[in-house]
Structure 1
Amino acid sequence: MDADELVTVYTVNEPTKAELIKAALHGEGIACEVSGENQAGMAGVLRVDVLVKAKDAERARKFIDEHEPHHP
């Protein structure tokens, strides 16, 4: 896997929560993107992924685990 390839580190049903995670990761110096947030009319059904570069994935997952202890 390429170190700059994007990988999913978190998935939620709420675009707002994904944006909060994205902002928190940016605050930690981890560049990330949100994918799937434009699924209009699908609230509660949609899947929103937070993506980071593969080289940052372990650090991002650890940060998320520490701050979102109840995520799947």
Structure 2
Amino acid sequence: MAERLVTIATFNEPTEAHIVKGRLEAEGIPCFLGDEHIVAVQPFYSVAVGGVKLKVTEGDADEARAILARIQGGTSEYILDDNIELAPPMQEHVQQLTCPNCGSEHVAEEKFSKTVFSISYLLLGFPVPFVSRKYKCYDCGYIWQQE
């Protein structure tokens, strides 16, 4: 015969309930969230329906409550298996532009011509983005185009 579901916790926010549900499922305890969709669509109904209910089977209720107490107490640590190898963090290589005039790295790309942008806004009432890929050095004021 199927086991009954027991409510072990209630939450006002579905996001918080999903975090705890994910943690219990990571520990091997199957879970179910009741009334999560009602609260997600109408957050003010949370009080009326009693919040989002985290439910587990009767057989897993004691273990789930113990895990929940550890989580709420701040003493819960999820231990990874030793045979799982984590990938090293990826490092992004960003090519830094330098000013050909003075060698400064205080350079910015100007994608739009400010002159065309301003004149079209004054004459037409809306700005026309005229693409112009120029670079400007803020140290010496030099302006150039990348080839």
TM superposition score normalised by structure 1:
0.84
What is the CA distance between 1:21 and its match in structure 2? 0.7
Could you list the structure 1 runs, at least 4 aligned residues long, displaced by more than 2 angstroms after superposition.
none
Q: Which runs of 5+ in 1 are unaligned?
A: none
Aligned-pair RMSD on alpha carbons?
Answer: 1.9
How much does 1:3 deviate?
7.2
TM-score (norm 2): 0.43
Q: Distance in 2 between matches of 1:31 and 1:4?
A: 12
Q: Which residue of 2 aligns with 1:42?
A: 43
Query: Given the superposition, is the C-alpha separation of residues 22 and 13 from structure 1 closer, same or farther in structure 2, using an over 3 Å criterion?
Result: same
Change in 2 beyond 3 A, CA 1:54/1:3: farther
**2:68 equivalent in structure 1:** 64
Q: Distance in 1 between matches of 2:59 and 2:15?
A: 25
Q: Percent identity?
A: 34
Q: In structure 1, what is the Cα distance between the partners aligned to 2:12 and 2:2? A: 27
- Say which one has the larger Rg: 2
Q: Is the 8 A contact 1:3 1:54 kept in 2?
A: no
Which residue in the other structure is 2:13 paired with? 14
Report the CA distance between 1:69 and its aligned residue: 2.9
**Are residues 1:51 and 2:55 paired?**
yes
Q: What is the distance in 1 between the residues matched to 2:54 and 2:9?
A: 5
Higher relative contact order, structure no. (Cα contacts within 8 Å, ≥ 6 residues apart): 1
